[in-house]
Amino acid sequence: MLQKNTFTQKVAAAGVIAVIRAKSPAKALEISEAVIKGGLTGIELTFTVPQADQVIKELTTKYQDTDVVIGAGTVLDPISARLAILAGAQFIVSPSFNPKVAEICNLYQIPYTPGCQTVTEMQTALTAGVDIVKLFPGSVAGPQMVKAALAPLPQVNIMPTGGVSLENMAEWFKAGVIAVGAGSNLLKPAENGDLAGVTANAQKYVAKLKEIRQQ
């Protein structure tokens, strides 16, 4: 199977992508490990983390040949995208669509997931070879936007990020998303250094995802 397709399918299989933000590489690594320990297999390591590419390299090396998929988030330019890809990132996420980032990702056969809010933005992204669109911020758009977008664009794969929680996860999947990005609602215990709390939250998200998929 083509590399790009393999990574895209791993993101969809993960179902919940943990969006990791931290003030240091060590902290980002600890939080990522706590999430994976809880059973979630999707990690988006944001480029707001210092030396994010080094953390990505460490994670992808450790979890190669497993179900875990490691990507880079908050990628704003093609230089950052290339750094992430060379470090081993298996998907690239941006808060908005950048055609130059799309070109780099296509060149290296890495899925690109740009933030989009409108059908026009989604169509532009699809035309550039994007496989998964990040509906961002999800808290502003809401599940109703997913249904609205899928009417004229039934082929678009949507992953909302921002405002996703255990309480509304089922609503998002019912609307037709293929995965969700989870940040503060999942990782809040990490603010107080409670990594066990992060793992416990991850376990709850895993259980909820399993419940949703069995329905």
> pLDDT for 85-132, tens place per residue?
999 999 999 999 999 999 999 999 999 999 999 999 999 999 999 999
CB 56 within 8 A of CB 76: no
Backbone angles phi, psi at 206, to 5 degrees: -60, -45
pTM: 0.96
Identify the H or E element spanning 13. helix 3-14
DSSP state of 120: H
What band does 84 get if pLDDT is binned at 50, 70 and 90? very high
**Residues 6+ positions from 199 with CB-CB distance below 8 Å:** 34, 35, 37, 38
Tell me the catalytic residues.
44, 134
Cα angle: 166, vertex 36, 173; to 5 degrees: 35
Residue range 130-140: mean pLDDT, rounded = 95
Model confidence over 30-83: pLDDT tens digits?
999 999 999 999 999 999 999 999 999 999 999 999 999 999 999 999 999 999
First to last CA, the chain: 29
CATH number attached to the domain at 3-204: 3.20.20.70
Helix axes 99-107, 78-86, angle to 10 degrees: 30
CB 21 within 8 A of CB 49: yes
Q: What is the pLDDT of residue 1?
A: 55
**Residues 6+ positions from 68 with CB-CB distance below 8 Å:** 36, 41, 42, 43, 59
DSSP state of 159: E
CB 75 within 8 A of CB 94: yes
Question: What are the domain boundaries of the chain?
Answer: 3-204
Q: What is the pLDDT of residue 215?
A: 86
